[in-house]
Amino acid sequence: MEAENHTELSEFLPISFSENSELKPLLLGLFLSVSLVTVHGNLLIILAIISDSHLHTPMYFFLSNLSFIDICFISTITPQMLVNIQEQSKDIFYIECLAQMYFLMIFAGVDNFLLTIMAYDCFVAICHPLHYTVTMTSHLCALLFLMSWFIICWASLLQILLMKRLTFSTGTEILHFFCNLSQFLKVACSDTLINNIFLYVAAALLWVFPVIGILFSYYHIVSSLMKMFSIAGKYKAFYTCGSQLSMVSLYYGTSLGDYVSSVLNHSSQRSLITSVMYTVVTPMVNPFLYNLRNKVVMRALGRLFSRAACCP
């Protein structure tokens, strides 16, 4: 009988993208390039926002933090993925899986909260413009951001502590290229009822309610836009919040696709594709989807490059 263990000595086998040795260099180069573009691109956005005083507003404060979270998210995913593609042995230790799982839950959760706060910021700016400076103060922005980190960190820690009580068979295959919480609960050898209950409660509180808040904000935004008589005002408001809505749609669309695929789809390769879209592609596209259409950010980037060129 295969030994069961829940200590740091347990090993798991993440699923491989391809067993074809000829495709491995291509996959390695592709994901390495995506990672470098994501990290450097988001880092440039953060530097541009920090260096330009015109961008020291609540919207760009949250946008810079969103870029920082995306850097952290992909930095948690891709190192192990690149190792799995390159190396013949794909074993990952139990304690390493718990650490990766913990940080992934934190960054995904904070990302979720940031998108909700940005939707609220857009709602106040369009629906209550006269009260914007009074409502969205720097103190409130910092408080919302810190509360997001505090809530998500504790919720993730509780989930990891509940995972420590489970037992697993050494060498169990994970149908993901990273340590996915739902996949771990499926392959556990012990009872996962408490874990599943906490998972569903946390999902309702930390995901469903924020989504409701986002939908509520954009419902009122669209209602306000329909009541505007000025075409220029409508265009400016849509230009401001349209890109944020695109980011929200991309984030929740890919995450929902990943969840549905893991539940309904029995094809491991198709599940890998949806997982890559959510975990690797989205952090790269997400901030650029907004910033490349934002003239203010593009001008800030231009000034940043100009200063860098003048001061080698």
pTM: 0.84
pLDDT computed for residue 157 by the predictor: 92
pLDDT computed for residue 245 by the predictor: 77
Among 38, 183, 12, 188, CA closest to 107 = 38
Measured CA to CA in angstroms, residue 231 lies from 97, 217, 240, 295 at distances of 53, 21, 14, 20
The tally of domains found in the chain comes to 1
pLDDT computed for residue 1 by the predictor: 39
- 241: containing domain: 4-310
pLDDT computed for residue 146 by the predictor: 93
Beta carbons of 124 and 241 less than 8 angstroms apart: no
Beta bridge partners of 12: 92, 172
pLDDT computed for residue 19 by the predictor: 58
**Rounded distance, CA 193 to CA 201, Å?**
12
**Rounded distance, CA 312 to CA 310, Å?**
6
pLDDT computed for residue 8 by the predictor: 44
pLDDT computed for residue 230 by the predictor: 67
pLDDT computed for residue 260 by the predictor: 63
pLDDT in tens, the chain (312 residues): 344 444 444 555 555 555 556 677 787 888 888 888 888 888 888 888 888 888 888 888 998 898 899 899 888 888 877 777 776 556 677 788 888 889 988 998 898 899 899 889 988 888 888 888 888 898 999 999 999 999 999 999 999 988 888 877 766 666 667 777 777 777 778 788 888 888 888 888 888 888 888 889 888 888 887 777 667 666 766 766 777 777 787 777 777 766 666 655 555 556 666 777 777 878 888 767 766 666 777 777 777 777 766 655
> 71: domain CATH number?
1.20.1070.10
pLDDT computed for residue 147 by the predictor: 93
**Rounded distance, CA 85 to CA 16, Å?**
7
Beta carbons of 81 and 31 less than 8 angstroms apart: yes
